[in-house]
Amino acid sequence: MKLTADADSVLRVQRYDGSPSIDGVEFTELRRFNDDGGAMTELLRFEEDRPAGLEGFEPRQLNYSILQPGAIKAFHLHRRQTDVWFVPPEDRILMVLVDVRAGSPSAAVRQRFMLGDGTSRFVRVPPGVAHGCRNIGAEEARILYLTDLVFDPDPEQCDEGRLPWDFAGAEIWDVVKE
Protein backbone atom coordinates (compact mmCIF):
# COMPACT_ATOMS: atom_id res chain seq x y z
CA MET A 1 0.00 0.00 0.00
CA LYS A 2 1.29 3.40 -0.89
CA LEU A 3 1.22 6.15 1.78
CA THR A 4 1.16 9.89 1.46
CA ALA A 5 4.64 11.43 1.32
CA ASP A 6 4.26 13.20 4.70
CA ALA A 7 3.14 9.98 6.46
CA ASP A 8 5.75 7.84 4.72
CA SER A 9 8.57 10.21 5.74
CA VAL A 10 7.87 9.85 9.49
CA LEU A 11 6.56 6.27 9.68
CA ARG A 12 8.66 3.95 11.80
CA VAL A 13 8.22 0.48 13.20
CA GLN A 14 8.19 0.23 16.97
CA ARG A 15 10.77 -2.19 18.42
CA TYR A 16 9.38 -5.03 20.47
CA ASP A 17 12.63 -6.89 21.08
CA GLY A 18 13.73 -4.59 23.90
CA SER A 19 16.63 -2.19 24.07
CA PRO A 20 20.29 -3.21 23.99
CA SER A 21 21.50 -4.37 27.38
CA ILE A 22 24.50 -3.11 29.31
CA ASP A 23 27.09 -5.66 30.38
CA GLY A 24 26.83 -6.33 34.13
CA VAL A 25 23.41 -4.73 34.66
CA GLU A 26 21.10 -7.32 36.17
CA PHE A 27 17.40 -7.39 37.01
CA THR A 28 16.06 -9.56 39.82
CA GLU A 29 12.30 -10.12 39.94
CA LEU A 30 10.97 -10.03 43.49
CA ARG A 31 8.06 -11.90 45.05
CA ARG A 32 4.98 -9.85 45.88
CA PHE A 33 2.16 -11.34 47.90
CA ASN A 34 -1.31 -9.76 47.74
CA ASP A 35 -4.31 -10.37 49.95
CA ASP A 36 -7.56 -8.60 50.80
CA GLY A 37 -5.76 -6.21 53.16
CA GLY A 38 -2.87 -5.13 50.92
CA ALA A 39 0.46 -6.47 49.75
CA MET A 40 3.92 -7.45 50.93
CA THR A 41 7.08 -7.60 48.81
CA GLU A 42 9.89 -9.85 49.93
CA LEU A 43 13.01 -7.78 49.31
CA LEU A 44 15.82 -9.98 50.61
CA ARG A 45 16.45 -13.35 52.15
CA PHE A 46 19.83 -14.05 53.65
CA GLU A 47 21.65 -17.34 53.17
CA GLU A 48 24.79 -17.67 55.26
CA ASP A 49 24.78 -13.88 55.82
CA ARG A 50 24.61 -13.16 52.07
CA PRO A 51 21.59 -11.84 50.19
CA ALA A 52 20.00 -14.62 48.13
CA GLY A 53 19.40 -13.61 44.50
CA LEU A 54 22.22 -11.03 44.53
CA GLU A 55 25.16 -13.39 44.24
CA GLY A 56 28.55 -11.71 44.51
CA PHE A 57 27.06 -8.57 46.08
CA GLU A 58 27.92 -7.75 49.70
CA PRO A 59 25.70 -4.92 51.00
CA ARG A 60 27.40 -2.36 53.23
CA GLN A 61 24.76 0.39 53.32
CA LEU A 62 20.99 0.78 52.77
CA ASN A 63 19.70 4.20 51.66
CA TYR A 64 16.25 5.71 51.21
CA SER A 65 15.63 8.57 48.79
CA ILE A 66 12.60 10.73 47.94
CA LEU A 67 12.14 12.18 44.46
CA GLN A 68 9.65 14.97 43.81
CA PRO A 69 7.22 14.71 40.85
CA GLY A 70 9.00 15.60 37.60
CA ALA A 71 12.43 15.78 39.26
CA ILE A 72 15.48 14.42 37.43
CA LYS A 73 18.46 13.17 39.44
CA ALA A 74 21.27 12.43 37.04
CA PHE A 75 23.86 11.42 36.17
CA HIS A 76 26.01 9.94 38.87
CA LEU A 77 28.78 7.44 38.53
CA HIS A 78 30.90 5.21 40.75
CA ARG A 79 34.35 3.87 39.94
CA ARG A 80 34.25 1.18 42.66
CA GLN A 81 30.70 0.94 44.03
CA THR A 82 27.83 -1.28 42.87
CA ASP A 83 24.26 -0.07 43.50
CA VAL A 84 21.13 -2.21 43.79
CA TRP A 85 17.94 -0.14 43.38
CA PHE A 86 14.34 -0.91 44.34
CA VAL A 87 11.35 1.37 43.65
CA PRO A 88 8.03 0.42 45.29
CA PRO A 89 5.47 -0.82 42.74
CA GLU A 90 3.16 2.11 43.54
CA ASP A 91 5.71 4.66 42.25
CA ARG A 92 6.88 5.32 38.66
CA ILE A 93 10.52 6.11 38.01
CA LEU A 94 12.22 6.22 34.63
CA MET A 95 15.78 4.97 35.11
CA VAL A 96 18.46 5.72 32.53
CA LEU A 97 21.81 3.95 32.35
CA VAL A 98 24.81 4.76 30.13
CA ASP A 99 27.85 2.50 29.96
CA VAL A 100 30.88 4.81 30.14
CA ARG A 101 33.47 2.07 30.79
CA ALA A 102 36.33 2.22 28.30
CA GLY A 103 36.71 -1.15 26.61
CA SER A 104 33.36 -2.53 27.85
CA PRO A 105 31.52 -4.80 25.37
CA SER A 106 28.53 -2.48 25.82
CA ALA A 107 30.44 0.84 25.91
CA ALA A 108 28.21 3.84 25.04
CA VAL A 109 25.01 1.77 25.22
CA ARG A 110 22.10 3.70 26.71
CA GLN A 111 19.29 1.87 28.49
CA ARG A 112 15.92 3.24 29.67
CA PHE A 113 13.36 1.34 31.71
CA MET A 114 10.65 1.81 34.30
CA LEU A 115 11.08 0.92 37.96
CA GLY A 116 8.02 0.54 40.14
CA ASP A 117 5.02 0.90 37.82
CA GLY A 118 3.38 -2.21 39.26
CA THR A 119 6.52 -4.37 39.30
CA SER A 120 8.74 -5.53 42.13
CA ARG A 121 12.35 -5.99 41.10
CA PHE A 122 15.92 -4.99 41.82
CA VAL A 123 18.29 -3.53 39.27
CA ARG A 124 22.02 -3.97 39.88
CA VAL A 125 24.21 -1.18 38.48
CA PRO A 126 27.93 -2.02 38.27
CA PRO A 127 30.79 0.49 38.63
CA GLY A 128 31.35 2.59 35.51
CA VAL A 129 27.70 2.69 34.46
CA ALA A 130 26.32 6.23 34.77
CA HIS A 131 22.81 6.21 36.18
CA GLY A 132 20.00 8.55 36.99
CA CYS A 133 16.26 8.74 37.25
CA ARG A 134 13.18 10.86 36.70
CA ASN A 135 9.97 10.65 38.72
CA ILE A 136 7.22 10.52 36.09
CA GLY A 137 4.48 9.98 38.66
CA ALA A 138 2.16 12.63 40.11
CA GLU A 139 3.34 12.09 43.72
CA GLU A 140 6.67 11.78 45.50
CA ALA A 141 8.50 8.59 44.56
CA ARG A 142 10.72 6.50 46.80
CA ILE A 143 13.92 4.64 46.10
CA LEU A 144 15.54 2.11 48.40
CA TYR A 145 19.07 1.24 47.38
CA LEU A 146 21.85 -0.92 48.66
CA THR A 147 25.52 -0.18 48.08
CA ASP A 148 28.58 -2.36 48.56
CA LEU A 149 30.62 0.60 49.85
CA VAL A 150 29.88 2.93 52.75
CA PHE A 151 29.42 6.55 51.64
CA ASP A 152 32.38 8.80 52.48
CA PRO A 153 31.90 12.55 51.83
CA ASP A 154 35.65 13.19 52.03
CA PRO A 155 36.62 14.37 48.49
CA GLU A 156 39.75 12.19 48.64
CA GLN A 157 37.68 9.04 49.35
CA CYS A 158 34.28 9.81 47.81
CA ASP A 159 33.14 7.45 45.02
CA GLU A 160 30.18 9.60 43.96
CA GLY A 161 31.02 11.35 40.69
CA ARG A 162 28.66 13.49 38.62
CA LEU A 163 28.05 13.92 34.90
CA PRO A 164 25.71 16.58 33.43
CA TRP A 165 21.99 15.68 33.59
CA ASP A 166 21.84 15.87 29.77
CA PHE A 167 25.01 13.80 29.21
CA ALA A 168 22.98 11.31 27.11
CA GLY A 169 20.89 14.07 25.52
CA ALA A 170 18.03 15.99 27.13
CA GLU A 171 15.47 13.94 25.17
CA ILE A 172 16.46 10.76 27.05
CA TRP A 173 14.27 11.99 29.95
CA ASP A 174 11.17 12.59 27.81
CA VAL A 175 8.18 10.31 28.18
CA VAL A 176 7.83 8.56 24.82
CA LYS A 177 4.53 9.33 23.11
CA GLU A 178 3.53 6.50 20.79
- For residue 144, tell me if it sits in a domain: yes
pTM here is 0.85
CATH number for the domain spanning 105: value is 2.60.120.10
Nearest CA-CA partner of 125 in 89, 86, 93: 86
Q: 100 is in which domain, residue-wise?
A: 19-163
Q: Would residue 50 count as lying in a domain?
A: yes
Evaluate whether 70 touches 134 at the Cβ level (below 8 Å).
yes
| Number of domains observed in the structure of the chain | 1
Q: Is residue 99 part of a domain?
A: yes
Mean pLDDT by 10 residues, the chain (178 residues): 82 73 91 82 83 90 94 94 96 97 95 94 96 96 94 88 94 87
Query: Is residue 11 in a domain?
Result: no
Q: What is the pLDDT of residue 38?
A: 78
Q: 10 Å Cβ neighbour count for 173?
A: 19
pLDDT at 81: 96
Q: Is residue 2 part of a domain?
A: no
How many whole angstroms separate alpha carbon 24 and alpha carbon 127?
Answer: 9
Report yes or no on 100 lying in a domain.
yes
Domain presence at residue 125: yes
pLDDT at position 66 is: 95
Give the model's pLDDT for residue 85: 97
**CA-wise closest residue to 28 among 4, 56, 65:** 56
